[in-house]
């Protein structure tokens, strides 16, 4: 996903290099946000399960 602008740029069409840098930067930001989101989701699920176990609920 991050390297795709360069892979697409290898074709016979003209590609402006400045747009590739922006595409890669946006791709990296999206990947980091997705990883942070998954980490937060895992932490909240673990916290919810621990809290339910302490309360004795299902």
Q: Of residues 2 and 49, which shows the higher confidence score?
A: 49
Nearest Cα neighbor of 22 from 8, 10, 38, 5 is 5
Distance separating alpha carbons of residues 33 and 12, to the nearest angstrom: 33
Instruction: Kindly report the pTM of this predicted structure.
Output: 0.56
22-33 pLDDT per residue, tens = 878 888 899 999
> Where in the chain are the domains?
18-53
């Amino acid at each position: 996903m991050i390297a795709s602008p360069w892979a697409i740029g290898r074709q016979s069409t003209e590609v402006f290099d400045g747009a590739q840098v922006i595409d890669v930067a946006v791709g990296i930001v999206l990947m980091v946000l997705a990883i942070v989101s998954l980490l937060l989701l895992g932490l909240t699920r673990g916290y919810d399960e621990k809290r339910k176990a302490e309360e004795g609920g299902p």
